[in-house]
Amino acid sequence: MNYTLHQLEIFSKVAELKSVTKASEALYLTQPAVSIQLKKFQEQFNMPLFEIVGRKLYITEFGDEIAQAAKRILDEVQAMNYKSKSYHGQLAGKLKIAIVSTAKYAMPYLLSDFIHQHKDVDLIMDVTNKATVVKSLENNEVDFAMVSTRPKNLSIERIELMKNKLFLVGGDEYTGKPHNIPRYGFERLPLIFREHGSATRLAMEQYIAKHELSVYKKMELTSNEAIKQAVIAGLGVSIMPLIGIKNSLNMFELQIIKAKGLPIETTWNLIWLKSKNLSLVAKAFINHIQENKEAIIKEHFGWLEDY
């Protein structure tokens, strides 16, 4: 056999995405280039690695075993490259972070200078809901997580970052309405919730339970961005994190509706497992956050104090 690392990388990506087109996009290659290398790789085996049924690509059982072996080889090669760079005094390796969806408005600013300073650090960041973030941390799949509600069942270390404020917001039809909405007024509002497993959903449900409110009509969407657009379109109102709606407030697409017990205030935290064997990259990132968080927050999120 005489396959190349390039062919291993292509087959591994095709196996992962189950698509030549998606693999070519992910690898920044043309589709014909991927197809040619995939064909050359297949020719070196007596058994099929994949099959096409209809228009769908399926990896065979044998192909799945080869894909797993390819991934192990590629990981080892990457580790060798990191070690070589580290030997020459460069910080090199992977930084894996899982964040809740609202944290996508903050984490890039906390990462930016660090990633620019260390060109050989590769960032892998998963943006999802709180339940999945906590699961990733618990399974040791990531180095860090950014959450506003700390998991109670995990032994963690943390760095407190900044306040997270959640307000009741509606579309422009609420412009000029009374400053404080009464209880009976709140209970007549069509409410838009995040999906189960979301920290924003939990905060909203806890607020409703605490104030013993009934819900007139409830909708559920799976992202804050989708909820924001739904509120702007007049589908209903929602309790949303302030950090994600600044521009819409400035453009008067959204209006803050004042109500008893609002805003809800939590705190963003960078967290990691106490038992985690931190890499040099992870330790360097902790130092970066501890030394620079106040300046970063002041520069990019000082406006939060105006609300």
Angle at 146 between CA 243 and CA 83, to 5 degrees: 130
Domain with CATH 3.40.190.10 in the chain: 93-162+267-306, 163-266
pLDDT in tens, 101-114: 899 999 999 999 99
Domain with CATH 1.10.10.10 in the chain: 5-87
pLDDT score for 179:
57
Range list of H helices, 121-198: 130-138, 183-186
144 backbone dihedrals φ, ψ, rounded to 5° = -140, 160
What is the average pLDDT across 238-242?
94
pLDDT score for 177:
58
Confidence of residue 30 (pLDDT cuts 50, 70, 90): very high
The 3-class SS string of the chain reads CCCCHHHHHHHHHHHHHCCHHHHHHHCCCCHHHHHHHHHHHHCCCCCCCEEEECCEEEECHHHHHHHHHHHHHHHHHHHHHHHHHHHCCCCCEEEEEEEEHHHHHCHHHHHHHHHHHCCCEEEEEEEECHHHHHHHHHCCCCCEEEECCCCCCCCEEEEEEEEEEEEEEEEHHHCCCCCECCHHHHCCCEEEECCCCCHHHHHHHHHHHHCCCCCCEEEECCCHHHHHHHHHCCCCEEEEEHHHCHHHHHCCCEEECECCCCCEEEEEEEEEECCCCCCHHHHHHHHHHHHHHHHHHHHHHHHHHHC
Architecture field, domain 93-162+267-306: 3-Layer(aba) Sandwich (3.40)
pLDDT of 176 > 70? The answer is no
Two tokens, residue 282: 């992870």
Residue 107 to residue 225: CA distance in whole angstroms? 17
Q: What is the CA radius of gyration of the chain?
A: 24
pLDDT in tens, 241-292: 999 999 999 999 999 998 889 999 999 999 999 999 998 899 999 999 999 9
Residue 254 to residue 239: CA distance in whole angstroms? 12
pLDDT of 142 > 90? The answer is yes
CATH classification of 5-87 is 3.30.1300.10, yes or no?
no
Q: Tally the residues of the chain.
A: 307
Query: Quick check: 200 and 230 in contact, CB under 8 A?
Result: no
Whole-structure pTM value: 0.73
Residue 65 to residue 69: CA distance in whole angstroms? 6
Is residue 230 helix, strand or coil?
helix
Query: Quick check: 147 and 199 in contact, CB under 8 A?
Result: yes
1.25.40.850, 3.40.190.10, 3.30.410.40, 3.30.2130.10: which CATH number matches 163-266? 3.40.190.10
Confidence of residue 135 (pLDDT cuts 50, 70, 90): very high
